[in-house]
Amino acid sequence: MATQAPHPEAGPHVGEPGAAEKPDSAVVRDSLGVGIAVGLSGFAFGVTAVGNGLSLLQACALSLLVFTGASQFALVGALAGGGNPVTAAAGAFFLGMRNAFYGLRLSQLLAMPRWVRPFGAHWVIDETTAVTLAQPTRRARRIGFAVTGLTLYVLWNLTTLLGALGAEAIGDTEAWGLDAAGPATFLALLAPMLRTATERAVAALAVLLGLGLLPVLPAGVPVLVAALAAPLVLFVQGRRTTTEGTGR
C-alpha cells in the first residue's frame, strides 16, 4: 500500500521524559480512519485485476498473500501489457522492498513476541508504519499497528472480492472506462508521498523513463528501468553538492 511516506518517529521513546500518553480510543479512531479510507481502494484492484485477465481466485489470492497495493497494481499492469511473469514479479518485488526497511524499524518500536512476528510482518506496509510512528508510547504503537493492519487487511480483501465480482458481472471493463481505475488509484496513493523536490524529481524521471521506453521494451521491463530514477537523481544531487562544496 501507499498513501503517505512515514516520517521519523513522532514523540520521545518509551521511558523518556515527556513521553505523553495518548488515550487508546484516540489511537483506535485514528487507526480505523486510515484503515477504512485505504481499504476501500481494494475495489479498484479487484476491477483492474479481473478486467485485465486474472480470474477471481487469482485476484483474491494476490490480496490475501501479497497485500501491498502498489506491488499488486504493478504486477497486474505488467501482465496485462503482455509481460512475462518473471519481469512482472520483479517489478512488484522492487516496489515492495521498502516494506523490509519499514520492518527493521518497527521491530524495534513494537518489540513483539517472537511467535507474533511472522504474522505481524505481513501487515508491515506504508499505512501501518505511518500510524505506528505517529504514536508516543509502545502501547499506543502496538494498538495503532494492530488496528490499522487488521482493518486494512479485512477491508482490502473484501473490496477486492467485490471489485472482482463486479468486473465479472459487467464484462468488458474498458467499455465502462474502468480500465483506468488501477492507474488512477495508484497515482492517488502516490501523490501524497511526493513532498520534497527530490521525491518529485525521482517521480518525474521515473515517469519519463517508463513512458519513453514503453514502446521499445517488453512489457514489465520499463517498470524495472524506471527504478533507476532514484539512484540517478541522488547521483546528480551528490555531484552538485560536491561541486558547490569545492567552489567549482
Q: Would you place residue 141 in the very low, low, confident or very high pLDDT band (cuts 50, 70, 90)?
A: very high
Amino acid, res. 42: G
Tell me, what's the pLDDT at 75?
83
Region 187-212 average pLDDT: 75
Residue type, 185: T
Region 206-218: mean pLDDT is: 76
Q: Would you state the pLDDT for residue 78?
A: 75
* Residue 18 scores a pLDDT above 60: no
Q: Which residue has the higher pLDDT, 248 or 45?
A: 45
Alpha carbon distances (Å) from 67 to 14, 91, 237, 247: 30, 15, 34, 49
Residue 163, CB half-sphere, CA atoms under 13 Å: how many?
30
- What is Dmax (Cα atoms) for the chain? 65
Spatial distance between the Cα atoms of 169 and 59, rounded to a whole number of angstroms? 15
> Which pLDDT tens digit goes with each residue over 107-123?
999 998 889 888 899 99
Q: How confident is the model at residue 196 (pLDDT cuts 50, 70, 90)?
A: confident
Task: Read off the pLDDT of residues 32-58 as tens digits, 9 standing for 90 and up.
Answer: 998 998 888 888 889 888 888 889 999
Closest of 141, 146, 135, 147 to residue 20, by C-alpha: 135
Predicted TM-score (pTM) of the model is 0.68
Among the listed ranges 12-16, 33-37, 62-66, which one has the minimum average pLDDT value?
12-16
Q: What value does the mean pLDDT take over residues 207-216?
A: 77
Own/partner contacts of 195-198, CB < 8 Å, gap of 24 or more, are 195/5, 198/233, 198/234, 198/237
Answer yes or no: is pLDDT of 98 > 70: yes
pLDDT above 90 coverage of the chain, percent:
25
